[in-house]
Amino acid sequence: MRLTLHLLSILIISFSTNLLGYSQTEQGALDATEAYFTAKMCDDYETLLNLTLPDLIEQAGGRESMKATLSKIHDNQRAKGIVLQGYKIKQDIEQAKTKLETHVLIPIVTISKVPGGTVTTEGHLIAVGSDENSKWHIVETSSLNEFNIHKVIANWDNTIVLPYKKAPVFKEDK
């Protein structure tokens, strides 16, 4: 498992350094997004915790409580036969700088194996850069809208408009 994570890390770094046309800020956000999805696919809860906003960890009752919550979510999905198989980061990235943070809206496509087929979902993540973008945290937007985003990202200034949610697409196995 450790060797697999090491190889995945090398692949991520190689892939990330080959992306052209992104600013240093966007590249930091993309690197964090890559690390986030790799951690999700490898059940690496420590990395997921490191990429979670500290306020959310505090709201969940601390690191151990949040780790238990992540594990429960994962176990529930697996019990239902839902497994994240892959993801793709799309090109239309938006960013905004607030007083204390940088917010980068990253469009993504995820593919999950479900009983009887696959589900493809188009969505967005928000990468939150702090400490002059030396630290990045990832926020999933699936349950966020303009009315509740401030509860998750306190410094969100509405410079970026959250896109409408698209319905997932189910493709039956043949």
* Number of separate domains in the chain: 1
**Model confidence at 23, in pLDDT bands (50, 70, 90)?**
confident
**For residue 73, how far is the Cα from the chain centroid?**
15
Domain that holds residue 29: 2-172
Q: Residue 15 above 60 pLDDT? A: no
Q: Could you tell me if 92 and 109 are in contact, meaning their C-beta atoms sit under 8 angstroms apart?
A: no
Q: Could you tell me if 101 and 154 are in contact, meaning their C-beta atoms sit under 8 angstroms apart?
A: no
- Residues 28-55: pLDDT tens digits? 999 999 999 999 999 999 999 999 999 9
CATH for 10:
3.10.450.100
Global pTM value: 0.84
Alpha-carbon radius of gyration of the chain = 16
